[in-house]
Amino acid sequence: MKSKTTTSLTVGVGKGVVVRAARESDYAAIARIQHRSPETAQWPIGDYSGYPMLLAVVGDEPAGFCSWRQTAPDEAEILNIAVDPLFRRKGIGSALLARVCEEAQGTIFLEVAEPNAAAIALYRKQGWEDAGLRPGYYERGNVNAVVMKKRSW
């Protein structure tokens, strides 16, 4: 069984990021991050309650979150991931992805909007591979989703 410890990394200049399990008391911060990230899925916050949720914190500031689920013993999927624009390009997304890979079992899947080049570049840099395309998956059928996958370690 994999360890579910708090992940701590150094990001930016002299700043550390801690990735931990989110609590219900973090939902307001998660809602703010999601609202500030219009390119991510805009879930009703209560819908996250049934899934594992990670929160990345820099100092005492919530910086990003990731919700995921184990769909089968050897397969998982990321449901949503977002980093507050004030904390982007500082390793927050990478830290969240690494933590999911530590906790999930088997192959992990995600969908990302085809125009979201920054996210796709991050995923590819982290070793994610294209697995397919879902035509018209986002924005009422107007935006394709790139399906990506990665084996957890």
- Indicate if 111 belongs to the active site: yes
Catalytic residue among 48, 103, 111, 138: 111
Catalytic residue among 123, 137, 138, 139: 123
What residues are paired with 58 via a beta bridge? 17, 61
Euclidean distance between CA atoms 12 and 144, whole angstroms: 33
Q: Phi then psi for 87, rounded to 5 degrees? A: -115, 10
How is residue 5 annotated by DSSP? Answer: P
- Indicate if 51 belongs to the active site: no
- The helix or strand, by DSSP H or E, that contains position 148, with its residue range, turns out to be strand 143-151
- Residues annotated as catalytic (active site), given as ranges: 111, 123
